[in-house]
């Protein structure tokens, strides 16, 4: 196994080992990948770069995006644990997200890509308005990102505001007289209690001590956790939350079964589990009367309702698209297409068969396709859904 692949796996382990994912850890992961560009060409670096580009696209990391990163890291470690190269305990952590706030340093972002040419997103436009900016209607993601970055830089270099000083006073934090907006924000952020700390008091059925710094709240939590009755209450609250979540999922599943039937729901669940993993996958599927072979990224899975109750499961996929210029040829993952699962004859992780494949190199891609076309009969003799 390639050394840089193991190095990235170790970085992923370090990030999730405490069960908490912070904005700074996401930025740190992006910086590590930037400093080790060789990991971008194979699993798990390639899908991580794709995900991080989307996360950093509008200069803001939301909690939902942070949870996506957390889920991806755990998925990577689950896949690593299943490999025969090295025995690794499968991770069992709950990633909780804290300090999700705008990214201010352009150096934090992964290398730019084709996302810059897409239209500006609604979230970019909304965030720009909060900064006093108006994004042109024909602006691309890249242009909007540049405008937002400049606006953030200008704002951060301005003097700290009276609102910031009032906020800091609540946590007994002193903001220096000549502090900038960014410096004041950092002081306030580092003093504010985290989401996990607030959740602790909620689970303990205790009133949260508002206006108290993160450090003091942490000390209070450490004292409370030494009390057996409090520790038991916290554990029970976590178990109850999990039971409630499981019950809600079961209820939704029951509704789906009533609507689509058990067989279709179970098929959807199998494919949904596969789509949640990090690819890419090689697929053999029927198109008309012929068999096609291609490499795809699975973006999602859904039940598509058809007329007369003939619903079906479809996969949202990204296919590689060929490009050429000045004698150079390459691939980009931008060709969107849906695949009907009933037409898929075989699907498997590309990494399992081509562990060192750089799928962005067109020669490697064509070699993969050629190889799997030769092996089609053998593969079709096995399981359709691996």
Of the pLDDT bands very low, low, confident and very high (cuts 50, 70, 90), residue 95 is: very low
- What pLDDT score was predicted for residue 266? 93
Is pLDDT of 207 > 80?
yes
Is pLDDT of 93 > 50?
no
- pLDDT digits 0-9 by tens, 38-54: 788 777 888 888 888 87
According to the per-residue pLDDT averaged within each range, which of 73-77, 134-138, 256-260, 366-370 is highest?
Answer: 256-260
The domains of the chain, with CATH numbers, are: 3-111 (no CATH), 263-380 (2.30.30)
* HEC per residue, the chain: CCHHHHHHHHHHHHHHCCCEEEHHHHHHHHHHHHHCHHHHHCCCHHHHHHHHHHHHCCCECCHHHHHHHHHHHHHHHHHHHHCCCCCCCCCCCCCEEECCCECCCHHHCCCCCHHHHCECCHHHHHHHHHCCCCCCCCCEHHHHHHHHHHHHHHHHHCECCHHHHHHHHHCCCCCCCCCEHHHHHHHHHHHCCCHHHHHHHHHCCCCCCCCCCHHHHHHHHHHHHCCHHHHHHHHHHHHHHHHHHHHHHHHHHHHHHHHHCHHHHHHHHHHHHHHCCCCCEEEEEEECCEEEEEEEEEEEEEEECCHHHCCEEEEEEEEEEEEEECCEEEEEEEEEEEEEHHHEEEEEEHHHHCCCCCCCEHHHHHHHHHHHHHCHHHHHCCCCEC
> What number is the average pLDDT over the span 82-95?
45
Q: Which residue has the higher pLDDT, 12 or 376?
A: 12
Q: Is the pTM of this model over 0.85?
A: no
Is pLDDT of 382 > 60?
yes
- pLDDT digits 0-9 by tens, 251-284: 989 998 998 899 999 999 988 888 777 778 889 9
């Amino acid at each position: 196994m390639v050394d840089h692949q193991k190095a990235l796996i170790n970085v992923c382990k370090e990030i999730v080992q405490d069960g908490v994912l912070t904005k700074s850890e996401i930025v740190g992961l992006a910086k590590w990948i930037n400093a080790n560009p060789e990991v971008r060409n194979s699993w798990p670096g390639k899908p991580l770069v794709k995900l991080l580009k989307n996360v950093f696209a509008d200069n803001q990391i939301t909690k939902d995006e942070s949870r996506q990163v957390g889920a991806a890291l755990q998925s990577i470690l689950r896949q690593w644990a299943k490999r025969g190269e090295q025995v690794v305990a499968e991770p069992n952590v709950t990633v909780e997200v804290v300090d999700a706030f705008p990214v201010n340093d352009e150096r934090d972002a992964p290398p730019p890509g084709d996302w810059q040419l897409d239209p500006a997103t609604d979230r970019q436009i909304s965030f720009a308005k909060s900064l006093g900016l108006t994004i042109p209607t024909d602006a691309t993601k890249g242009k909007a990102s540049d405008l937002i970055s400049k606006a953030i830089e200008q704002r951060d270099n301005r003097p700290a505001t009276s609102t910031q000083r009032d906020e800091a006073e609540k946590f007994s934090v002193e903001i220096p007289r000549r502090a900038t907006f960014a410096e004041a924000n950092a002081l306030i952020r580092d003093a504010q209690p985290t989401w996990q700390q607030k959740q602790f008091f909620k689970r303990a059925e205790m009133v949260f001590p508002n206006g108290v710094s993160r450090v003091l709240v942490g000390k209070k939590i450490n004292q409370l956790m030494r009390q057996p009755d409090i520790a038991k209450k916290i554990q029970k609250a976590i178990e109850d939350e999990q039971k409630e979540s499981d019950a809600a999922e079961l209820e939704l599943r029951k509704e789906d079964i009533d609507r689509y039937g058990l067989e279709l729901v179970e098929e959807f669940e199998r494919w949904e589990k596969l789509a949640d993993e990090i690819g890419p996958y090689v697929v053999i599927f029927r198109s008309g009367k012929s068999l096609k072979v291609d490499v795809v990224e699975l973006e999602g899975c859904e039940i598509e309702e058809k007329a007369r109750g003939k619903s079906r499961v479809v996969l949202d996929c990204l296919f590689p698209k060929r490009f050429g210029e000045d004698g150079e040829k390459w691939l980009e993952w931008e060709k969107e297409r849906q695949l009907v699962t009933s037409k898929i004859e075989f699907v498997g992780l590309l990494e399992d068969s081509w562990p060192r494949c750089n799928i962005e190199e067109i020669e490697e891609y064509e070699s993969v396709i050629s190889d799997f076309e030769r092996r089609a009969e053998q593969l079709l003799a096995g399981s359709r859904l691996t």
